[in-house]
Amino acid sequence: MEETMTLLHEMAYVYEVYRQRSFTRAAQALYISQPSLSQMIRKAEGRIGTTIFDRSTSPIGLTEAGRAYIRAAEQVLQIESDLRRYLDDAERCITGVLTLGGAMLFTSYVLPPLLSTFSERYPGVELRLHEAPTARLKEQLQEGTLDFAVDNSAFDPAVYEARLFKREQVILAVPRAFAVNEAAARFRLSAADLLREETPRAPLSLFQDTPFLMLKEGNDTRERAEHLCARAGFSPKIRLQLDQQLAAYTLAGYGLGAAFISDTLAVSAPPDERLYFYRIDSPDVERSISLFYKRTRVFSAPMRAFLDLLPAGGSTPDEAPFPVDHKR
């Protein structure tokens, strides 16, 4: 197979030199250096045991063997083009249903770009999207009513396969009207600042007297928030408990409390100028967003096609459920 691909590359390069009648112009069209192109042409000539181009003329011409080579190359390259067109047409003919699920954050901001690409490439596949909390997503994967779930929690690796989607961090969103922002002034960030690689990290203990909007128990963000507060030496003063990060983000903007959210949400949602954001000084803020599916699931054609669209990177490293410190 590798030998065949090398031959096809050689033919394509030889044909481009023939078409351009110039090594310089062909190299520019192929986006390679002229020495690299010349080396490839010499390899092709060495393979057939004679010269292809008459380099004594300007523009360069073909030898008798070169004309025979170009006739053969045109036939081979046409066959390759026909095959690619056939495979593209077959790919576009995939039909069926693809069902995905996730929290509102993921269905609103993480999945849409990928779903748009998928829908354009596979117009015959019906897409179904379900919004649900983590526990329900696991149930739906087990029941077989969901093909894939996108989540940032740890799923049992003995039951579920995971494909890494992206990495993210838990951060703190604080209403600008809160007095604590003055004490934390050198750490505060805008949503645009979060896109920078290097940003200051605030000690969470600065916010121990701040009222918090927490997600309800049973998800990674809540468990991680409690763990971070315990490590900082305090129990959070919880004003409201909510189901979704988006709700916490929105209510924080109205000044009801500080919220633990992901930086994915902060940089994806419409910017809220009523909030400051803080990266937290702890390694425990790092986590993965992954695409999960049941290990025993029989893959449909739409499922395989969707997985092929994911960025290369392999499986998510197994992540143990986040430790919860009950000694508070």
Residue 203 domain-assigned? yes
Domain count of the fold of the chain: 3
The pLDDT tens digits of the residues spanning 42-79 come to 998 898 899 999 988 888 889 999 899 988 888 888 88
Q: Are residues 73 and 124 in the same domain?
A: no
pLDDT (0 to 100) of residue 103: 87
For tokens 């002229």, name the residue: 34
Domain boundaries, position 222: 167-286
Q: Are residues 143 and 221 in the same domain?
A: no
CATH number of domain containing 69: 1.10.10.10
Q: Which amino acid appears at position 272 of this protein?
A: D
Q: Which residues pair with 102 in a beta bridge?
A: 131, 150
pLDDT (0 to 100) of residue 218: 81
- Cα 236 to Cα 50, 100, 169, 202, 305, distances in angstroms: 80, 34, 19, 16, 45
Residue 315 domain-assigned? no
Which among 39, 73, 92 is the end of a domain? 92
Q: Give the three-class secondary structure for 53.
A: strand
Q: Are residues 14 and 150 in the same domain?
A: no
Residue 228 domain-assigned? yes
pLDDT (0 to 100) of residue 327: 33
pLDDT (0 to 100) of residue 57: 84
Which among 51, 75, 92 is the end of a domain? 92
182 touches 312 (CB < 8 A) = no
pLDDT (0 to 100) of residue 86: 67
Q: Are residues 214 and 241 in the same domain?
A: yes
Q: Are residues 15 and 155 in the same domain?
A: no
Residues in the chain with pLDDT values less than 50 = 314-318, 320-328
pLDDT (0 to 100) of residue 147: 96
CATH number of domain containing 109: 3.40.190.10
Other C-beta atoms within 10 Å of 34: how many?
15
Residue 269 domain-assigned? yes
Q: What is the model's pTM? A: 0.65
